[in-house]
Structure 1
Amino acid sequence: MEQVSAFLKVFFIITTFLTVWQFYNAANKSKGFLILILVWMALQFLLVQTGFYNNPNAFPPRLVFQLTPTLIFILIQFFTVRGRKFIDNLDIKKLTLLHTIRIPVEIVLYYLFVAQVIPEIMTFEERNFDIVAGITAPLMFYFGFVKNKLPRKTMIIWNLISLALLINIISIAILSIKSPFQQFGLNETNTALGYFPFNWLPSVVVPIVLFSHFATLRQLTIDKKRV
């Protein structure tokens, strides 16, 4: 990872904290969320220091331990009364604007490819079109919530398409990891997500973006007064 510039590392650290800050604001500055996410980030930092994520022969792939706990947490929120209350109190206007964070994330991924620490397929030059969601998010926020000119159905469709784009890159990332199931980037290096701070992408940024879509879709489909 010596070939990755210090600037790119600092840029991504700032991007991660901006993601957390945006969700924190959307969650009405929930101290519970803030404490939980900061503890999780600290744990991920410590795991990297031990070299936990740098075993290419591990099975299951160590990326599972970055993403799976957060997915379980998200499911718990949707299947518990307290969790659903938390979700329904989120500000979906701010959650929609949060998706602009996907622009700097895609820029980071591109320069990680340039540094030859992730395969090209994980960038917008190949099969990762997630940046489209980031670019269109301000438009959805402005016309959907500020001007109130977009119908609910349009907001739902945009969230579903953006969610599909996110799932697409998650799938590509998983299938690009050195494992018996690897399908992509067979002749390229893919080590960045096992090092700090880029391990925060699958463990922090992606789950927050994913949760934001699910929460917004729940509110748009259940509470007809939201838009």
Structure 2
Amino acid sequence: METLPLYIYGTFVPTVLAAAYFFSKASHTRWLFYVLLGWMALTAALAWAGFFKVTDTLPPRFLVAVVPPLLGLIAAFCSPKARAWLDAFDLKTLTLLQVMRIPVELVLFWLFLHQLTPELMTFQGRNLDIVSGITAPLVYYLAFVRNKWRAKLLIGWNIIALGLLIFTVSHGVLSAPSPFQQFAFEQPNVAVLLFPFIWLPAVVVPIAYSAHIISIRQLWKAYSKNRKFIYNLGSVKQI
């Protein structure tokens, strides 16, 4: 791999650390930050050793970085105690956290210029994920400062932003070198197999989709509870 400009590392690494810190802060727990740091250290060591560069195995080694965070989130939703913990996450922090997608998209563009990611993974191609990062401060302002359309606005924005993320991630997975590759054969998505960019699928993406899913759960519960309260109040008045 060619030597990349320091500003790429200088943008990406602090962004990942900030995302891990603020996601942990939203959880009101310190241990989550140390768990994320441990996961970062493990995936970094594997990437540094060239583990993910072996791309002809089944299942792809790339999944080692992708599947554990997803299983962890699923496990959390299966436990009543863990669900209560998820419901205590700070919604304001989870919303502003998505601003991280702006520097991430800049890094992807710079990696494309250095032939480490395909154009379709940038905002010049099929990646519209930067829209989520740009709109996050506006949504935060309208929902929490101006207190306008809070529930509906936040639910709609989180669903759309999660959809954009899933669309982008699917292209990222299918353009990475593996037996399942479908796109970008002329310039595969090789950056995510290398240190420190393995943290994109292993850390940044899981934090982003976890923040959206946790937010949607909280908002839908509150919205449903409020609608039920209004409905019951109306029934009482009719009686």
Tell me the TM-score normalized by structure 1: 0.95
1-structure distance, mates of 2:179, 2:65: 19
Residue 7 of structure 2 corresponds to 7
Residue 18 of structure 1 corresponds to 18
Please list every run of 5 or more consecutive structure 2 residues that lacks an aligned counterpart in the other structure. 227-239
Compare the two structures and name the one with the higher helix fraction.
Answer: 2
1:182 to 2:169 alignment: no
Q: How far 1:58 moved relative to its partner?
A: 2.2
Residue 144 of structure 2 corresponds to 145
Q: How far 1:151 moved relative to its partner?
A: 3.9
1:155 to 2:154 alignment: yes
1-structure distance, mates of 2:201, 2:48: 17
Task: Kindly report which structure 2 residues correspond to 1:7-156, keeping only aligned pairs within 5 A, or say none.
Answer: 7-28=7-28, 30-156=29-155
Asked if the contact 1:3–1:115 (Cα under 8 Å) also holds between the matched residues in 2, the reply is no
Where in structure 1 do 4 or more consecutive aligned residues deviate above 3 Å? none
The count of aligned residue pairs is: 225
Deviations 1:22-73 (A, max 9, x none): 1122112x12211211111111111112210111212222221111000000
2-structure distance, mates of 1:166, 1:6: 27
Larger CA Rg, structure 1 vs 2: 2
Q: Secondary structure at the match of 1:198?
A: coil
Tell me which amino acid in the other structure corresponds to 2:5: S
1-structure distance, mates of 2:161, 2:142: 17
Q: How far 1:158 moved relative to its partner?
A: 0.7
Q: Secondary structure at the match of 2:51?
A: coil
Tell me the TM-score normalized by structure 2: 0.90
Asked if the contact 1:48–1:195 (Cα under 8 Å) also holds between the matched residues in 2, the reply is yes
Deviations 1:141-168 (A, max 9, x none): 1110111012412211111000000001
Tell me which amino acid in the other structure corresponds to 1:209: A
Asked if the contact 1:45–1:196 (Cα under 8 Å) also holds between the matched residues in 2, the reply is yes
Please list every run of 5 or more consecutive structure 1 residues that lacks an aligned counterpart in the other structure. none
Percentage of matched positions with identical amino acids: 42
RMSD: 1.4
